[in-house]
Amino acid sequence: MNSKNLLIIFTRNPELGKVKTRLSKSTGDQVALDIYKFLLNKTNQVTEQVTSDKIVYYSEKITKHDIWSSNSYKKEVQYGDDLGAKMKNSFQAAFKNKYHKVLLIGSDLYDLEPCHIYEAFKKLDKNDVIIGPASDGGYYLIGLKKLYPKIFENKNWGTSTVREDTLKDLEKVDVHLLPMLNDVDVIEDIEHHPAFTKFL
């Protein structure tokens, strides 16, 4: 692994009762876990096709023999007091390791494709920040060439104001927005999506 580009993938360890908790209120814990594993597999299939260096950041602990092959992905554990601190710390580590362009994505997005990731890396040539807007008001991807600590601080993570508040912090830099996609948090996100019919 010696690319100047890095893709960071934030995942949760797939454990019963600990993933997709908002979704589980409608589906129950087991179905929520099954859906999350389905989303993890999709994220794995998409990112396997990306040629940059890749790191999977686990929420709790590193799992050695799972869907994330050690040949393709480095493995780390998220650290920080909240999601913002965890993301900031992962970007900080990436820039310390001399990466030029760094993207971070989550693992609950069925509609993400390799083209979105490649477009984000390409658009970083002429823009300072790339954001992939999620339809719930957050974002599914953020790409940087240097750290802007403020964008990871004082946010109500998991709410509809995250993207708007982040963009306010970035008013003085060039931001490129990718196509809007729908991440999976609640039952309404998937109830009319054919890929999820088998779970409902």
Tens of pLDDT, residues 92-148: 999 999 999 999 999 999 999 999 999 999 999 999 999 999 988 999 999 999 999
Torsion of CA 145, 116, 199, 193, to 10 degrees: 130
Q: Which pLDDT does position 2 carry in this prediction?
A: 58
Structural domains in the chain, CATH included, are 5-199 (3.90.550.10)
Q: What share of the chain is helix, strand, coil (3-state, %, to 5)?
A: 35, 20, 45
